[in-house]
Structure 1
Amino acid sequence: MTDKIVPVVTRGNALDGATLQSGDCVRQSGVSPQHTPAQNLWFGRVSNAPGHRSPPHHHAHSETGGYVLSGHGRIYFGDDYAEFIDMFEGDFVFVPPFMPHVEVNMSTTDDLVWLTCRTPDNLVTNLPEVPDAALAGYRRA
């Protein structure tokens, strides 16, 4: 007999923090293999406090989609992280597999909050640190 798989609800006050992290970005899963029957999906909430950023990292072979709930985010990428894209409330973003990047909250007063979805899981490979001064326009709180 096979176990029956049914819909699973993760309440907003019960998100799972037992997932891979990178620096000051706080990742909490709502749907993931860690606490639901999901096999090929990681979907969660990511937040950065004012002025905080991640270290350089990539998500291995995972494709990543994001949606900004609130705040002003920036993703640095490319050679020496010299390229960047800005994101604001209501924006969606796609980050390809194996792309080294840095996620930044550009506000020094407001949180950056977004929803992130990865397939097959929240894979995070942290890379060597880069100084804040190398990230054009970035400043800490």
Structure 2
Amino acid sequence: MTKFFAVAVMSLVANVCFADGNRLPNSVPPIVKQECASCHTLYPPAFLPVDSWKRIMAGLEKHYGTDASVDAKTNLAITQWLAQYGGTYKRVAGAPPNDRITESPWFIKKHNGVSASVWKNPKIKSASNCTACHTAANDGIYEDDSIKIPK
């Protein structure tokens, strides 16, 4: 029984630890996958501070040039999940301009070695096309060992 309890606690701790990193939390609600991943990569909530996610969810009718509106119940469920796992650590302490992951200081620092010609590659197109280089991004993994720059 003690081993079971220890494993259960470690599972919960691991889920919280991954929430503030380069991975999606272990459990992503189906509604989040359905509404968010149907249009773009499902970004780990830890990539932005909670306040950014709340502003994004409050303005879905103008979601980066698209009307991504959802009903109030769905909006609340997604917002609560994003708030639960949103970035809380030093790396995302401040909201980036326009609440864009690609304009956040940590993203710019992490990608500062990427030349302009790489971003202009027709297979990449822009910094927001994570899946072009992060081969496991659709699985919520953005670790360095899953990067492959297209030629």
TM superposition score category, shorter chain reference = under 0.3
TM-score (norm 2): 0.26
User: Which protein has greater RCO, CA pairs closer than 8 Å, 6+ apart?
Assistant: 1
TM-score (norm 1): 0.27
Structure number having the greater strand percentage: 1
Largest Rg, 1 or 2: 2
